[in-house]
Amino acid sequence: MKTGTFVSCIAWGLLSFACASQPSEPPAAPEMTPPAEPPSPPAAEAPAAAEPAAAAAPAAAPRTIEVPLESKSGSKLAGKAVLTETEGGVHVVLTVEGISPGDHGAHVHETGDCSSPDGKSAGGHFNPHSKDHGLPGGDKRHLGDLGNIVIGKDGKGSLDITAPGANLKDGDTQSFVGRAIIVHAKKDDGGQPVGNAGDRLGCGVIKG
């Protein structure tokens, strides 16, 4: 009885030792949490719409000068000239009344002075290039040669013409500013040296 018990104890002890010697199962690997995705970069802002270009400055209005005419040499002339600078020269619109019907020479003279009773204070034709006198459209002409204004039976008339090469710039050698407009008693026939147009019936200073 004692021997069986002893054997049983030895067997139990060996079994216990064997169990203790068995390696324990390795711990389960921890679950891997997938790395968080990096935040998306902020969407690029759309470029601001370009501001519309500033409106171009309006072109400057062409210079215009109105010239009242005063009577000379005992005439009853009344009228005015309106001068406008253009790309091609100076556009002149001359309107006159109170003088005899027919053609009357009209010119820009060199001096802006209408103080004398006969208008001769305005000097000679404006001729900065020292050319021969001529009529509009001719190869040779003074810069101030405007041709003739035609007066009707009612004593009224007008002339609409452009003087090529002239301008209305202050101080320019080809400028009409500082000159005078003269209306004559007779027709400008194109002859030399100044067209044989006779007395000066009207005069107006071209002021800038």
* Catalytic center residues: 107, 109, 125, 133, 142, 145, 184, 200
Q: What is the residue-wise DSSP string for 50-90?
A: PPPPPPPPPPPPPPEEEEEEEE-TT---EEEEEEEEETTEE
Q: From the CB of residue 101, how many other CB atoms can be counted at a distance below 10 Å?
A: 13
Read off φ and ψ for residue 139, nearest 5 degrees. Answer: -70, -35
How does DSSP classify residue 171?
T
How does DSSP classify residue 119?
S
Encoded amino acid at 40, one letter:
S
